[in-house]
Amino acid sequence: MTTLAPTHSTSTPNQTAWMATELSVINQLNERHVKQVMDYSKGFLDKTFPLADGSHKDVVCYMVYFQHLLAFFADGSKSGLQNPAQFVALSGHREAPESLVLVNEGRHVELVLNRHGDNGEKDGAGIDDIQLQAKQAGEPWFSMLTGKQVRLGCRSEKHFTAKDGGPYHTSTGG
């Protein structure tokens, strides 16, 4: 019985070009899907945490000024939240926060900001994720952008700096 030795590559130049074309199409579809999910998620922010002027979809930068969240737009204008009390905490520096914590009806939402992250590098405001707090403290948070639970590992809860400078725990709301 004759056995054939395996070959390392059976791809012809036409197959390689075809695969490259297909991968390009898939990447474009994935990018379009991510943009649609981000647009939907920012629509959620507009409904739940509306700005006094403008839309979260048009924000290019978020920062904290004194105890207020400010959203900046491409034309240089800025806006705060319609309800400033909805901004409760942050992590990182006020001028360039790593995350912002908003609260609505006792439920926390974290805007994760990272201009070098998978999503943040494609988003004008650098939003890398939008995470929703579970109903019960200690349960995993939910990522609006990935559709998956966010596990905290050994930490039982997230810790932030309250807008007044003190510690902020999402499990107790303060």
- Give me the CATH number covering residue 133: 2.170.170.11
Q: How many CB atoms lie within 10 A of CB 31?
A: 11
With H, G, I as helix, E, B as strand and everything else as coil, classify residue 4.
coil
pLDDT in tens, 12-38: 666 677 777 776 667 666 777 778 889
pLDDT of residue 32: 77
User: Do residues 63 and 126 touch, judged by C-beta distance below 8 A?
Assistant: no
Evaluate whether residue 5 is within a structural domain. Answer: no
Record the tokens describing residue 163, joined without a space.
């807008």
Q: For residue 1, is it within any domain?
A: no
> Could you give the 3-state DSSP secondary structure of residue 160?
strand
| 28 belongs to a structural domain | yes
Domain assignment present for residue 95? The answer is yes
Residue 2 lies in a domain: no
What are the pLDDT digits (tens) for 45-97?
A: 999 999 999 999 999 999 999 999 999 999 999 999 999 999 999 999 999 99
Residue 169 scores a pLDDT above 50: yes
Question: Would you tell me how many other CB atoms lie within 10 Å of the CB of residue 133?
Answer: 22
Q: Residue 88: give the domain boundaries.
A: 15-169
Q: Could you identify the residue written with the tokens 């994935």?
A: 30
Q: How many domains are there within the chain?
A: 1
Sheet holding 87-92, edge to edge: 149-150, 141-143, 127-132, 107-113, 97-104, 87-92, 159-162, 167-169
Alpha-carbon distances, residue 146 vs 4, 18, 20, 141, 150 (angstroms): 45, 29, 26, 12, 9
Residue 82: inside a domain: yes
Given this model, what pLDDT does residue 108 score?
92
Give a yes or no: residue 4 inside a domain. Answer: no
Q: Quick one: tokens of 126?
A: 């650098």
Q: Is residue 31 part of a domain?
A: yes
